[in-house]
Structure 1
Amino acid sequence: MRVDSYLRPGVDEAMVDRWVRSACVLCSNGCGLDIAVADDEIVGVRGRADDRVNRGRLGPKGLYGWQGQSRDRLTRPLVRDGDGRLVETDLDTAMGQVVARSRQLLNSHGGLSHGFYTSGQLMAEEYYTLAVIGKAGIGTPHMDGNTRLCTATAAAAMKESFGTDGQPGSYADIEHCDALFLFGHNVAETQTVLWARMLDRLDGPDPPRLVCVDPRRTAVAARAEVHLPLRPGTNVALVNGLVRELLVRGWVDHDWVAAHTVGLEELARTVDDYTPQRVAQICGIDPADLTAAAEVFGTAQAVLSTVLQGFYQSHQATAAAVGVNNLHLLRGMLGRPGAGVLQMNGQPTAQNNRECGADGDLPGFRNWDNDAHVAELAELWDVDPLTIPHWSPPTHAMQLFRYVEQGSIRFLWIAGTNPAVSMPELARIRAALGGEQCFVVVSDAYRTETTELADVVLPVALWGERTGTFTNADRTVHLSEQAIDPPGEARSDLKLWLDYARRMGFRSRSGQRLPWWDTPEEAFTEWTRATAGRPCDQTGLTYDLLRARSGVQWPVTAEATAGTERLYTEGRFNTDTDYCETYGHDLLTGATINREQHRALRADGRARLRAVADTAPPGAPDDDYPMRLITGRTVTQFHTRTKTGRVNQLDAAAPAPWVELATADATRLGLAEADLVRVSTPRGTLRLPVRVTDIGEGTVFVPFHYGDRAANELTMTVWDPVSKQPQLKLCGARIDPDRE
């Protein structure tokens, strides 16, 4: 335990009027903290020593990021006038315009004219409310979030292997493992407190062995016993090679595999020719390093693996993440202390978005292709099952913006995110949002690149200005209580959506208001009812319980009142045909498996071993663009910097973007540290200063946070066939010295 705290200069603890319970929402760790309030202002934060996630520690964004909420806030709605300018108005007028356009389009074009694009930073109460409005009120399948860009593959990989979403492991496994594998997860920059927890083990007695898979020599790689600096886009070849090593070296728990999995023979055939020498050639690594990594995995007693954007935003994303699941299944490394896999989230409440159904899936990890699951929701919501869109897969974000571009989605509500910076191939996205073919509503706390393209902008309450729950990356639920009032006419997303629903007059079959709740606690109670009997069952959770305990892991039921640390402890998985969240996909093509085909697999509670051959990535380097461009995050900035860019301590640490080059590449191009270069792809060019680092030769890295020189001006519109997550970690690029 170590309580980190920061109070605004000039404020000491004696001046604090009250401390209010919350959790940090500036990475997916979800650290428990208290908010300091003085004179009805947020003046600081402190970590909670009793919290199961962080034990009082806070990272730089958690300590300082709250300060950005006091600068440049939107306090009144904006509407576009006849001259095309955004002008201030009152909330009633702005919402009146939203409702008028929405009602007109529903009457003339039906529910398919509407789309919603949300965030990984809202609350369960808000996501669930929107899911009910979109699916039961409007009847649109066009709902997704920017979680599609960061965590869709995590969900997809767990569904394909285990039957449903839901992290098998727990952060507590860090204290019990004897080997740590980090696959494309630069935890030292993306989750600093989690990295500190890992360092406690690495610097303590009996440290675990550490293996890092990353093309950059990060702080994690520097501490690793084995670093695999593979070429971007070759993750499937790597995991296939590791799986083959376990099989040929006899590092397999055959009794456990026979009892709890299906698909071993086909898996073995698929990976048979991925020898260390072949994998080394594909991935650009030393074959001895591959065998050394396999030996660590194969001989450890308890392995904890984490996976993040280096796998999720790359080529064959789901297949690669499933490959990590394969490694754990082959060794029976699930459901016991230290033995687990964390298919990590990139955003703080991405798990809420997925479990509540605001990302297009059905609430409670229900299967859109299972009529019985749809009927459960229809009964819960008191609507006709035909109202709930389930005639085809939900619309993913990449397709949603294509529909906006084409004009079939004519009403798009964007909440809590800035796609004009975060989406790939930004020229397309900005043109689509700025066109006249779609009425765009944006809920945000600041003016951003996206609000400037909107028809109506609604000011919203931020963290600490509203009440609700967050679920972090290891299924830990925290309650965040309102500490202060939001400024001006800003309202929580919950209040805005309930106001919209009331004005639209959405009703259930029996005439009840839809949604029928008014407060966050009422919304939470209804959400927990929707989880009954599902993998994310939270029927035992209440606000009072969350006030009494600092973080509780779901499932929480009458039988598991204290929460559940690990899933699949008995080796039984959620793959029963009548229970699973998906019937699965072909990992190579994305083609769906139907109900009859799934039943024929006879998984029946056993996990599925799945693998495919590696393929050449689209947009790979060529003669004109010979280098590999990858994008990513930096430790002091969050997403598109709408908050962290307004914080002096964080902005000063990384005020502008850069490009990282390997020493050999810089020498070849005659470049030195801080020289200006033009980074070009077929989609655009950025002018950036050089940082010379230990990144793999032929690979270049650009952080994505910066709207004025956005890395996504360079990336392409390509996505994984299963998770539909865009490929942001690989496209051919060229570096030219800028002599101007």
Structure 2
Amino acid sequence: LLRESGPSSIGFYTTGQLFLEEYYTLAVIGHGGIGTNHMDGNTRLCTATAAASLKESFACDGQPGSYTDIDHADVIALYGHNMAETQTVLWSRVLDRLAGPNPPAVVCVDPRRTPVAAAADVHLAPRPGTNVMLMNALLHHIIGNDWIDRAYIDEHTVGFEELAKRVADCDPELAALVCGVPAENIAEAARLIGGAERLLSTVLQGFYQSHQATAAAVQVNNVHLVRGKLGAPGCGILQMNGQPTAENARECGADGDLPGFRNWSNESQVEDLARVWNIDPMRIPHYSAPTHLMKMMRYVEDGSIRFLYVSGTNPAVSLPELGRVREILAQERLFLVVQDLFLTETARLADVVLPAATWGEKTGTFTNADRTVHLSEKAVDPPGEARSDLDIFIDYARRLDLRDKDGEPLVKWSGPEEAFEAWKRCTEGRPCDYTGMSYDGLRGSGVQWPCNEEHPEGTERLYADGRFWSDPEYCESYGRDLVTGAPLEPDEYRSMNPYGRAVIKAAEYLPPHEQPDDDFPFVLTTGRTLYHFHTRTKTGRVPQLRDAAPEVWVEMSAEDAAERGWEEGDLLRVATPRGRVEARLRVSGVRPGVVFLPFHYGYWDTTGLAPEGGDGRAANELTITDWDPASKQPLFKTAAARLERIGTGDGTPAAAPTNTGSAPVTR
């Protein structure tokens, strides 16, 4: 294919669960060796908006805050983040604060009554897809009451006047009509956030996978910028990750960006990366923005991508509109390689399956959402023919005979520590600088980047002095239009932000593309449960976790169930214009007009693949092929759906957990 069709016929789709050394090796192979622009990670499904929102506000990825901010904050605001079921250890840290002296106030934004909502002082349950309107109303109230730091705004930001003008008419009363949230609750949340001395905000999939994802997440950043709440203990933003090593995929360039947070549209930064790899800069694709996953799937569908290498992820269950995805992956003209631990639904469609080792069977480093780098050392040997992802990638590079300008192997390392040392050289002088770290040093405890001569012990918080990585010649990104997704040109950015300040970017609320109607009267949203992870490739094989949540269910409010005469445990068919799913009813604390499906349940432990022409169990049989224009993250939380009862429960409840956001309610 490289000889006949060129690099653009090759695509790579990886995970959020490899080690740093593996991501970096894959990025070197794809960007520097093969020279394809088609490389992305399943971080596109969970954390792409985190990166995009940070790039919009600070012109660079990297979490401003630290987990330790939980210990200091007097207000913690969680936006679309069911921390109790997605970051359970971190939630325990919040619970410790709530049970101790001087507990913080908690604001929760979630359409379901989750454990976080139950612990909150204010719970805002907006209609899915209206997050931007809600955030604009909060900012309206904060700015209108002068709960802002004018000196910080003037000295360290650009764009405030546009924001103030945009939110001027977005009062809580208007937001109440659009979002379906009482105006007094919005005002009370704004009062808590606007009066906080130490404000911590966290954001996750309720914003990232919803309509206007990046625009909504950027408004959370704006709250901190207008209040000057960055860089001090308790004053942080955590645009969270949904996977254990999603941060590394972004740093290393395995999700499409260039390694070391380099700017693909800045020639000097591309040349610097070429210097590190000792290759011609023209070998690194930078003629356009890196290809995001959904566009890659379209290229596979039309036949321009003929070889797709999937590592550590399961798109046959995790992508939207699964009927279409299965057809794409099953094409005869596509050569599909799957590298994974188990025979997933995607692996069953593959031409070649490469058995990989899991985390305890190999050595490598991983970086938490708050930039803390840890070393994980091999505990046991991998079984059978399985090899570490690093060994497989290195072998692949050598079989392709990828070489640098001097004829030496492009991938010059043979083990994880050598790969880490190579990565350190790639990060020198960049925001995610690892040059002060070593395997020996990481055997003590985690270290937060940047760690270098200037910060030998690491850096707990970013932007403490109001200085940002947003200088036009240094920044990772010039940003995008939040409505169209079009990248800003370098000259546009230089004109807007010549002195490298933080960018306050306003956003207008726009209604979701797919609205409920007479045929599909509900809004379908999907999400996680405490007991499973993604497509259950691992958690579904653990008896205790499988027994805790053995089967898919659908949640509906008590009001909606009573109106239809439906009862807990009834068998329902959930349908959208794209597919159908059968699930037992859980009458839960979800807001009226909204139904919820957990997205974990595929087919590897039942039929192996979805039943032909029948009802499925995977939530993504129903979701829409649509994505945020800026982050390119698919929208899993705003589909229009209808439900019908096809069987009664006879008093047997749905097999849904009762101690989570899926707890039953009584009428």
Q: TM exceeds 0.5?
A: yes
**1:572-721 residue pairs with structure 2 within 5 A?**
572-708=467-603, 709-721=617-629
Q: Distance in 1 between matches of 2:292 and 2:74?
A: 39
Q: Does 1:402 align with 2:298?
A: yes
Per the TM alignment, residue 436 of structure 1 is displaced from its structure 2 partner at its CA by 0.9
AA paired with 1:405? Answer: E
Contact 1:669/1:737, CA 8 A, preserved across alignment: no
CA distance in 2, matches of 1:499, 1:694: 51
Q: 8 Å contact 2:570–2:647 — kept in the other structure?
A: no
Correspondence list, 1:425-574, <5 A: 425-549=321-445, 551-574=446-469
Task: Specify the code of the residue in structure 2 equivalent to 1:135.
Answer: H
Runs in 1 of length 4+ with deviation above 4 angstroms? Answer: none
**One-letter identity of the residue aligned with 1:321:** A
* 1:300-332, Cα deviation, whole Å (9 max, x unpaired): 100000000000000000000000000000100
Map 1:3-18 onto structure 2 (within 5 A). Answer: none
Instruction: Judge conservation of contact 1:410–1:437 (CA < 8 Å) in 2.
Output: yes
Per the alignment, residue 645 of structure 2 pairs with 737
What amino acid is the match of 2:220? V
The code of the aligned residue for 2:645 comes to: P
Gaps of 5+ in 1: 1-104
SS of equivalent to 1:121: coil
Alpha-carbon distance between aligned partners in 1 of 2:444 and 2:528, rounded to the nearest angstrom = 35
Per-residue deviation, residues 614-646 of structure 1 (Å, max 9, x unmatched): 111111211110100000000010110011000
Preserved contact between residue 241 and residue 275 of structure 1 (Cα < 8 Å): yes
Aligned pair partner of 2:287 in 380, 387, 391: 391
SS in structure 1 at match of 2:523: strand
1:340 alignment counterpart: 236
Distance 2:58 2:487 in 1: 16
| Residue 350 (structure 1) aligned with residue 258 (structure 2) | no
Question: RMSD of aligned C-alpha atoms?
Answer: 0.8
Q: State whether structure 2 residue 48 is matched by structure 1 residue 143.
A: no
Distance, in Å, in 2 between the alignment partners of 1:588 and 1:411 is: 32
Distance in 1 of aligned mates of 2:78 and 2:309: 36
Deviation at 1:393, TM superposition (A): 0.2
Q: Which residue of 2 aligns with 1:97?
A: none
Opposite residue 108 of structure 1, the aligned amino acid is E
Amino acid at match of 2:584: P
Q: Equivalents in 2 of 1:381, 1:223: separation in Å?
A: 50
Q: Distance in 2 between matches of 1:293 and 1:127?
A: 40
Listed one character per residue, the Cα deviations across residues 118-161 of structure 1 (whole Å, up to 9, x for unaligned) are 00000100000010000111000000010000000000000000
* Shift of residue 603, structure 1, vs aligned partner: 4.5
Deviations 1:230-273 (A, max 9, x none): 00000000111111111110101001110010011111111111
1:682 partner letter: P
| Amino acid in structure 2 at the alignment position of 1:502 | R
- Matched with 1:726 is 634
Structure 1 match to 2:255: 359
Partner SS for 1:160? helix
Of residues 219, 225, 236, the one that matches 2:115 is: 219
Q: 1:156-175 counterparts in 2 under 5 A? A: 156-175=52-71
Residue aligning to 1:380: 276
Give the distance between the partners of 1:469 and 1:209, measured in 2 at CA.
35
Shift of 1:670: 1.1
Q: Is the 8 A contact 1:396 1:724 kept in 2?
A: yes
Q: Which residue does 1:58 correspond to in 2?
A: none
2:24: which partner in 1? 128
What is the SS of the residue equivalent to 1:736? strand
1:489 Cα offset (Å):
1.0
Q: How many residues align?
A: 635
Q: CA deviation at 1:548?
A: 2.0
Q: Match for 1:621: what amino acid?
A: P
SS of the aligned residue for 2:3 comes to: helix
Aligned 8 A contact 1:154 1:312 in 2: yes
Paired with 2:102 and 2:551, the residues of 1 have a C-alpha distance of: 41
**Contact 1:703 1:711 survives alignment (8 Å):** yes
Q: 1:13 maps to which residue? A: none
Aligned to 2:607: none
Q: Is the 8 A contact 2:292 2:632 kept in 1?
A: yes
Note closer, same or farther for the CA distance 1:292–1:603 as it changes in structure 2 (3 Å cut). farther
User: Structure 2 counterpart of 1:611, which letter?
Assistant: A
- 1:258-295, Cα deviation, whole Å (9 max, x unpaired): 00100111111111110111011000000000000000
Residue aligned with 2:4, SS: helix
